Amino acid sequence: MELRKDPITRSWVICGDEPEQAPSAGSFCPFCPESGLPLQVVATSPTVNGSPWSARAVVHPHPLYGIDGEPGRSGNGLYDKMRPVGAHEVIVENARHDRHLWNADDREIEEYLALCGQRIQDLKGDVRFKYVSVFKNFGSMSGQEFDHPTSEIVATTFVPRRVLYELRSARQHYQVKERCVFCDILQQEQEQKLRMIEVRGEYMAACPYAPRVPYETWIAPRNHEAYFERSALRSGAMRDFAALLRRTLFRIRTIADGFHMVLHTSPNTIHKSETLGFWKTIEDDYHWHLEILPILGAKAKSYTFKEVYYSPVSSETSAAILRERPTE
Ligand SMILES: [Zn+2]
Ligand SMILES: [Zn+2]
Ligand SMILES: [Zn+2]
């Protein structure tokens, strides 16, 4: 495996001929507490419900990125490549095999979110890592890897493409208006209420104005905050977010079989990058948020016309439908 940079779009891709993986034996789950498998546990959250633990981070059993060494960025003519150096962890969301984020206790979800915050903070301490991604694929069409409720964390030596687009736009908006573009969007959505799903304390869930798929939903803090981990590690700050995440996923699950969920937070600004330069105003111009992209069964493929997203359900209709859906 190696990382290659597309010289036109400047985005990195991970590319290589992967050996066929042997099918795992039976229905044995490696993440259940009683499995007894020698997982490389990175961190564990204390129990809140009598289970052995409430959430834990383990090294991914088949990591795409290797933790050791330097990226060794090198060129070949006009092409750039580097070694896939990074961290690849699985966040086990709950000790129970059947307890998903939409049917767990809010305190368990808070523990999961705090663990994500801790892992991001910890991985950002590594000077090599420019960004830490947290994401979850759920459902057979999503690329879900494990049956057990899990998310993934990947620390990379580059900032993923979509986050880079957001950072560039946010900085440009800030240079012109001296305001955070996300705060401006959230304010307008709260005034217009056309695409709002739910407000809960400091957080809100809404469908974006220009969705990529039907029922696309974002959850964000209503007050400005650039770093997810700072919210996540502030005592009690995640209570409303945990409940809103649970309720929103429950709503989406009544409509869609699967979804992709991705956290967008600030890149690693502990070690300032001269080449990226985003750190100068990032504290004021970027705003963390969670994006949920539902996957609608067999129709899923036709929605994305390769490069131009096509959503046959408007965000106004999506929000109106989601608002009426049960939340538990
Ligand atoms: Zn399990
Ligand atoms: Zn903001
Ligand atoms: Zn985003």
- CA 52 / ligand 3 centre spacing (Å): 34
Cβ neighbours for 189, distance < 8 A, ≥ 6 positions apart: 195, 196, 204, 206
- CA 51 / ligand 1 centre spacing (Å): 13
Q: Which two tokens stand for residue 148?
A: 């057990």
Q: What is the pLDDT of residue 265?
A: 97
Pairing of strands 203-206, 196-200: antiparallel
Q: What is the pLDDT of residue 280?
A: 78
Q: What is the pLDDT of residue 258?
A: 95
- CA 325 / ligand 3 centre spacing (Å): 24
- Residue 173: CB atoms within 10 Å: 18
- CA 241 / ligand 3 centre spacing (Å): 17
Q: What is the pLDDT of residue 305?
A: 57
Nearest bound ligand to CA 284?
2
Q: What is the pLDDT of residue 208?
A: 98
What's the rounded Cα separation, in Å, for the pair 247 and 240?
Answer: 11
Q: What integer best gives the mean pLDDT of the chain?
A: 91
- CA 283 / ligand 2 centre spacing (Å): 9
Q: What is the pLDDT of residue 182?
A: 98
- CA 309 / ligand 1 centre spacing (Å): 35
- CA 286 / ligand 3 centre spacing (Å): 10
**pLDDT tens-digit readout, 208-240:** 999 999 999 999 999 999 999 999 999 899 999
Please identify every stretch of the chain with a pLDDT value under 50, giving residue numbers as ranges: none
Closest CA to 112 of 57, 65, 63, 194: 57
- Residue 301: CB atoms within 10 Å: 8
Q: Which two tokens stand for residue 19?
A: 């050996």
Q: What is the pLDDT of residue 104?
A: 95
Nearest bound ligand to CA 148?
1
What's the rounded Cα separation, in Å, for the pair 87 and 89?
Answer: 6
Q: Which two tokens stand for residue 326?
A: 């049960």
Q: Which two tokens stand for residue 307?
A: 């490069």
3-class SS string, the chain: CEEEECCCCCCEEEECCCCCCCCCCCCCCCCCHHHCCCCCEEEEECCCCCCCCCEEEEECCCCCCECCCCCCCEEECCEEEECCEEEEEEEECCCCCCCCCCCCCHHHHHHHHHHHHHHHHHHHCCCCCCEEEEEEEECCCCCCCCCCCEEEEEEECCCCHHHHHHHHHHHHHHHHHCCCHHHHHHHHHHHHCCCEEEEECCEEEECCCCCCCCCCEEEEECCCCCCHHHHHCCCCCCHHHHHHHHHHHHHHHCCCCEEEEEEECCCCCCCCCCCCCHHHCHHHHCCCEEEEEEECHHHHHHHEECCEECCCCCHHHHHHHHHHCCCC
Closest CA to 65 of 90, 45, 44, 31: 90
- CA 264 / ligand 3 centre spacing (Å): 5
Q: What is the pLDDT of residue 190?
A: 97
Closest CA to 110 of 125, 94, 121: 94
Q: What is the pLDDT of residue 28?
A: 82
